[in-house]
Structure 1
């Protein structure tokens, strides 16, 4: 049985660098920012709820839009990317409206970078 060689660490690191892999990433970031601002204005929600003691340990909660007597809402937790080094929960609120309108509660946590 032949054992495969391990990939080069520099190559592996390059595969995580989406800014280098997606040259037009700035366009996507701008769309996320604009959509996220709009979502927070429209939905309100509970913003910057602490779940720990660290500055980065906060989350945003966008409650489901449900009719009285409807069953409890499912919860979608979206952990943003950023290679554990960048970006913020506030950049990803744009995801919430579609799920909230379908009856799901959306939670977007931050984490220590």
Structure 2
């Protein structure tokens, strides 16, 4: 009998922080996912652009990565959905994820996807400020309620937008944030090799951890992860929902059977998925 897959609960030693957060090592054929996503995203942009429903590379700041894409539904938008990509704050950009707008678009929402400066050139605190600036700009383009979602590091950033310490003029329009496999307590990352790129120190890790911040009054959070994820991501998924529930936020947490860290985010492209319904449902 072979050894258990590394992503099964209990298979990763708690004393090895690098393995505990190494999603690529835990997922079979992990390297095949990003090229496939990029191809599907490019085809989606071409299709929506041909229909006059894609506005690409809109600026929200002066930097080369201060850009976002906006996809429009058929007819008047019911509101704005934001997707913030992951990559441990050090990889990817908006161009890899365009096709994930399909689910919310089918429900009548406009969808905005930002790029943002990456570590080590940026610090995570600076990325938080960049996402807030993006959100203000995108909110000015689309009226109505705002629904935030983000994957992995993007889940962290989506949750940060609900934190009381983030100055956000459009905060009153945010009806919920959905953190997909989010990292909500950054302190364990201090012990990982990736911190050579992230450059986190203990004070910044505490300040930038949503689980250690207070939510805004009236905040609504959904935390979602794959049931086949690494144990640390499943723990982090429950952590924020539990902590913020005790601080008065309306929270929910669930897992999707048969999904690992890369597979879970693909459900956004499906209008019928539980993940899409968690974002656009009432």
When normalised by structure 2's length, the TM-score is 0.33
Q: How does 1:87-106 map to 2 (within 5 A)?
A: 87-106=92-111
Secondary structure class of the residue paired with 1:108: strand
Matched, 1:50 2:59: yes
Question: Quick one: distance in 2 between partners of 1:105 and 1:48?
Answer: 15
Q: How far has the Cα of 1:62 moved from its partner?
A: 0.3
> Which of structures 1 and 2 has the larger relative contact order (alpha carbons within 8 angstroms, sep 6+)?
1
Match of 1:26 in 2: 31
Q: CA deviation at 1:17?
A: 2.9
1:76 pairs, out of 74, 81, 89, with 81
Deviation, 1:55, is 1.2
Shift in CA distance, 15/76, structure 1 to aligned 2, threshold 3 Å: farther
Cα shift at 1:107: 0.4
What is the TM-score with the length of structure 1 in the denominator? 0.78
Q: Is the 8 A contact 1:16 1:83 kept in 2?
A: no
Q: Is the 8 A contact 1:65 1:102 kept in 2?
A: no
For the residue of structure 2 that corresponds to 1:47, the secondary structure is strand
Shift of 1:19: 2.0
Please give the alpha-carbon distance, in whole angstroms, between the structure 2 residues aligned to 1:98 and 1:56: 25
- Structure 1: gaps of 5 or more residues: 1-6
Q: Secondary structure at the match of 2:84?
A: coil
Deviation at 1:14, TM superposition (A): 3.7
**Residues of 1 paired with 2:112 and 2:79: CA distance?**
11
Matching residue within 55, 58, 62 for 2:71:
62
Q: Give unmatched runs, 5+ long, in structure 2.
A: 1-13, 119-282
- Cα distance in 2 for partners of 1:108, 1:14 equals 30
**Partner of 1:37: helix, strand, or coil?**
helix
Contact 1:36 1:91 (8 Å CA) reproduced: yes
1:13 Cα deviation after fit:
4.3
